[in-house]
């Protein structure tokens, strides 16, 4: 991970263990490795095909964070599940090194692994919350030329030139400041926008690569951060994740992004405090990690999506 969350603190380079017991619910798991498939989409499909869908209430999805195309993984998952059950989770991280990530379930821990934990049973209750808290600025524009996660043109103009026009001197070091200026992407037919982080810049071809697919025709706006807004978003994510749950024993799994941790700088610890403010309940265990990408359903939908620089919270309990 890029930081570990354990109840009241965020640590680095540590091991956190969370023990969860169910009285009436069951668990199945499946694991595949990316090296056995032609692409992330097919790996995601195979991962889900290894789970039974009868009485499936929720899937916890954990993925390699370096070799994966997170958007295609999610597309493969959605193709098989057909929105029968919500999916949430995240991409493993490697601090700020971006070299390799490791996962495992009941077997060797190694690179390229994808893990799905299916939770089953009528007594299971799961709540979700995901919030970015980023401030949009500038006019809404249309993504007119892109392929997968690479953007060439916005409103028929070069995307890199447009970023530099709006950011001024800040654009001189855009590779370093990329986490501070993500892009809001709103796909056709989807009510809510998602956040996309700049991964790299190709100066020769004047293109920008993002940490997730950027479908052509989407509506886009530039974004910037405000510390208080980011922290308030973490509180709101917790409130949403427990809004339909009773105040009882629960496990709250928090997956945030390394980009938020970098932007918050010496206030990154405050993100956990802000989230916990959303549910003052001594019977809840909080744990989680900082990731290279977050997976969560759209608000009000079962369909899941890859998010960047977003606090995502999944709260699990049983109705006994």
Give pLDDT tens digits for 40-81.
999 999 999 999 999 999 999 999 999 999 999 999 999 999
Confidence label for 319 from pLDDT (cuts 50, 70 and 90): confident
Is 70 exceeded by the pLDDT of residue 172?
no
- The model's pLDDT over 241-296, given as tens digits with 9 standing for 90+, comes to 998 887 688 999 999 999 999 999 999 999 999 999 999 888 999 999 999 999 99
Q: Identify whether the C-beta of residue 318 lies closer than 8 Å to the C-beta of residue 23.
A: yes
- Better-predicted residue by pLDDT, 302 or 280: 280
Listed residue (7, 66, 16, 77) closest to 41, CA to CA: 77
Which position has the token pair 């380079």? 13
Confidence label for 14 from pLDDT (cuts 50, 70 and 90): very high
pLDDT of residue 191: 82
Q: pLDDT > 90: what percent of the chain?
A: 80
Cβ contacts of 30-35, under 8 Å, gap ≥ 24: 30/115, 30/116, 30/118, 31/104, 31/105, 31/107, 31/113, 31/114, 31/115, 31/116, 32/113, 32/114, 33/110, 33/112, 33/113, 33/114, 34/64, 34/67, 34/68, 34/112, 34/113, 34/114, 35/112
């Amino acid at each position: 991970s890029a930081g570990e969350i354990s109840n009241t603190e965020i640590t680095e380079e540590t091991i956190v263990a969370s023990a969860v017991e169910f009285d009436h619910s069951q668990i199945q798991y499946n694991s595949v490795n990316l090296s056995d498939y032609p692409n992330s989409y097919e790996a995601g499909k195979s991962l889900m095909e290894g789970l039974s869908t009868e009485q499936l209430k929720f899937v916890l999805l954990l993925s390699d964070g370096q070799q994966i195309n997170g958007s295609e993984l999610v597309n493969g998952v959605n193709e098989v599940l057909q929105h029968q059950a919500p999916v949430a989770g995240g991409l493993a991280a490697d601090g700020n090194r971006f070299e390799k990530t490791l996962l495992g379930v009941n077997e060797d821990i190694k690179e390229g692994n994808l893990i799905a934990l299916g939770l089953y049973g009528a007594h299971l209750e799961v709540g979700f919350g995901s919030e970015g808290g980023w401030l949009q600025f500038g006019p809404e524009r249309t993504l007119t030329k892109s392929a997968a996660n690479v953007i060439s043109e916005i409103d028929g103009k070069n995307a890199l030139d447009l970023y530099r026009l709006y950011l001024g001197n800040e654009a001189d070091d855009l590779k370093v400041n990329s986490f501070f200026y993500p892009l809001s992407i709103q796909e056709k037919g989807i009510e809510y926008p998602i956040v996309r982080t700049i991964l790299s810049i190709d100066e020769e071809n004047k293109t920008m690569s993002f940490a997730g697919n950027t479908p052509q025709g989407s509506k886009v706006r530039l974004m910037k951060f405000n510390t208080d807004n980011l922290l308030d978003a973490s509180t709101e994510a917790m409130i949403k994740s427990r809004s339909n749950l009773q105040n009882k024993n629960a496990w709250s799994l928090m997956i945030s992004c390394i980009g938020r941790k970098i932007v918050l700088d010496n206030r990154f610890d405050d993100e956990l405090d802000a989230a916990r403010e959303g549910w003052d309940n001594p019977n809840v265990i909080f744990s989680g990690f900082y990731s290279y990408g977050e997976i969560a359903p759209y608000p009000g939908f079962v369909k899941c999506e890859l998010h960047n620089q977003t606090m995502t919270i999944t709260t699990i309990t049983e109705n006994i």
